[in-house]
A and B are shown apart, each in its own frame.
Chain A
Amino acid sequence: MAFASRDKNTRMTYRRALTRTAAVATLLLALAGFWELYRWTWSSAGWTWPFAVDSTSMPHVWTILKAFGQPAQVNQPSLGNILFHKALFTAKESAVGFAIGAVVGFALGVVLAHSRLLQRGFLPYLVASQTVPILAIAPMVVVWVNPKLPAAVQGWGAVAVIASYLTFFPVLINTLRGLHAADTRALELMRTYAATRWTVLWKLRVPASLPYVFAALKLAATASVVGAIIGELPSGLQSGLGGAIINFNQYYSIEPQELWATNIVAALLGIVFFVVIVIAEKLVVRRAPEAVG
């Protein structure tokens, strides 16, 4: 009996995965179609608003896709190959930044949740910190952090720190909300068990806060990729996607499709990170991910 139901469940999951993939594929095709349609309409009509359409500003979809297979420079591996490795490099920075930011954000959230005074004292600055454009601070962070890091981590380590800056905030805010979301009656119940603060934290508040924390992790995953790319820009690192963007930006008028290809890879990286969290959530929180936000 258990066998048969497990079979049915796996079949349903496969079926759902299949429809999802089909939906995504259709969407991508629709996007490509829309792109070409827009391109054709605008260039035939000669409209110049919002911008003039030609093979530089809007290369054909096919040109962009073909560029993946070709080398960017003579005697070099294909663009796709290069971009893949750069994406991995940026992914490394994002992942580390994500981890640091998530841990710091969560820890800060736990501390602030327990002290109203500390909350009132520090939260406004933590909120204001997000208005500081990290792009502007990034060069200074790079110069300041890099010498302090072990040699193996230098360079990209600073970028990871920058990425963590964007990551910690959503995690902090949502941890705070989540820890306070525990039902007051459940809290009272714990008190009748004479539970210590520590026990209440781990047995009640943290599990109750999981939907909020995962909502934040989804935002944070995206933010870590953004942070990594932004961090790479002023640091002169060639090995990541940020470096590729600067590079191909300079050659844009000659080979526009290379920058577009890079952008597509960057977009994919962001989406992959997001999907990883969604899957993690499905595994950890064994019910449907709640639309908390």
Chain B
Amino acid sequence: MTLTLRKAGDWTPALVVFVLVIAAWQGTIAAFHIQQFLLPKPSDIVKTFWTDRHTLWPAGWYTFKEALGGFAIGSGLGMLAATLVGRFRTFGNAFMPVAIAANAVPIVAFAPIFGVWFNPLSPHSKMAIAAVLCFLPVMVNTMRGLQSASPRQVELMRSYAASDLEIWRRVRVPAALPFVFTALKVASVLAMIGAIVGEYFGGATTALGVLINSDAESFDFVPAWAGILLASMLGLALYFAVVAAERIVVRWAPPEAEPS
């Protein structure tokens, strides 16, 4: 993205917006007695977030584990598939458009099927959805990354009489890393969403999605919003974990050019 937020000062506008929005939110609802039925006051949400923590937080952890498992499996398989496809060049080139078109299929529609396959109450069905959602972006981007090494770099390695495996290890894989992390960032967000969508079609009562749903269905919107807040936080946590990993692994990236 064309935004670097490394210095503390860069965060000031965002903080200002945050404070303003929360204040406005709280104020408007209090002042106009808007049905807090739908949009509760932020203070109420935070309060419930804390008071319900004994049911809420473990539920969040349960769902987070599903998301994490799905993320790991889906991304792992995606990278593996990209490596295999990359070995067979011509197959890979024909495969790309297929993969991109496959990305257009709404996986969400298949959620109930996964429930049938893996027992709707078990976390595996949700893990499967998260995994499928993560698989494609990771595979497509890893493929792109593996192809991104310049031909001269490969020629240089050949002048060192490098074997295909060595070229793979020393050139293609490092060159692919930035692409892989971009995909992992996308996948990290998708994983949590996939888990929650999966839980809509049935899941253990100890799962966050199920909890939010039952609260919403009984018009208990304050705990529902608290649950949503937690889900969002967990999704962000996974995303930031990936960003942190990227900073460590991809140490060489030049800072993105600030646009004029």
Contacts and interface: CB of A to CB of B under 8 A. Distances in A.
A60 B200 CA distance: 27
Given A230-B197, A233-B200, A266 B192 contact: no
Interface in A70-125: 117-125
B117 interface: yes
- Say whether chain B's binding surface is mostly helix, strand, loop, or mixed: helix
Interface in B137-158: 141, 144
B108 interface: yes
Contacts of B221: 140
Nearest to B128: A50
Given A136-B227, A229-B108, A234-B216, 20 more contacts: A57-B116, A119-B3, A120-B12, A125-B17, A133-B232, A135-B196, A136-B196, A136-B213, A136-B216, A136-B231, A137-B228, A140-B39, A143-B38, A176-B2, A225-B104, A230-B197, A245-B112, A266-B105, A270-B105, A273-B104
Interface string A117-149: 111111111001011111111011001100000
B201 interface: yes
Contacts of B107: 226
B46 to A, nearest CB: 16
A271 B196 CA distance: 24
Interface residues of A, number: 62
Contact of A51 (B105, B117, B259): B117
B235 interface: yes
Nearest to B115: A249
Interface stretch (A3-11, A153-161, A257-265, A280-288): A257-265
Interface in A154-198: 173, 176-177, 180, 184, 187
Given A133-B228, A230-B108, A56 B116 contact: yes
Contacts of B113: 259-260, 263
B260 A187 contact: yes
Contact of B197 (A123, A133, A222, A291): A133
Contacts of A133: 192-193, 196-197, 209, 212, 228, 231-232, 235
B232 A124 contact: no
Contacts of B21: 125
Contacts of B200: 135, 233-234
A93 to B, nearest CB: 13
Given A135-B197, A259-B112, A274 B101 contact: yes
Nearest to A132: B232
B118 A128 contact: no
A259 B117 CA distance: 13
A32 interface: no
Interface residues of B, number: 57
A1 to B, nearest CB: 34
B189 interface: yes
Contacts of B106: 222, 225-226, 229, 266-267, 269-270
A81 to B, nearest CB: 19
Given A117-B13, A130-B189, A140-B38, A123 B3 contact: yes
Interface in B79-122: 94, 98, 101, 103-110, 112-113, 115-118
Interface in B180-218: 189, 192-193, 196-197, 200-201, 209, 212-213, 216-217
B138 to A, nearest CB: 13
A289 B21 CA distance: 40
Contacts of B224: 136, 140
Nearest to B103: A222
B228 A271 contact: no
B236 interface: yes
Contacts of A249: 112, 115, 201
B52 interface: no
B31 interface: no
B108 to A, nearest CB: 5
A31 B126 CA distance: 24
B224 to A, nearest CB: 7
Nearest to B107: A226
Contact of A131 (B5, B101, B209, B236): B236
A264 to B, nearest CB: 9
Given A131-B189, A136-B216, A234-B216, A241 B109 contact: yes
B36 to A, nearest CB: 12
Nearest to B16: A121
A291 B193 CA distance: 27
Interface string B18-42: 1001000000000000000011000
B161 interface: no
B127 to A, nearest CB: 11
B251 to A, nearest CB: 23
Given A131-B232, A176-B2, A177-B2, A140 B116 contact: no
Contact of B1 (A117, A134, A173): A173
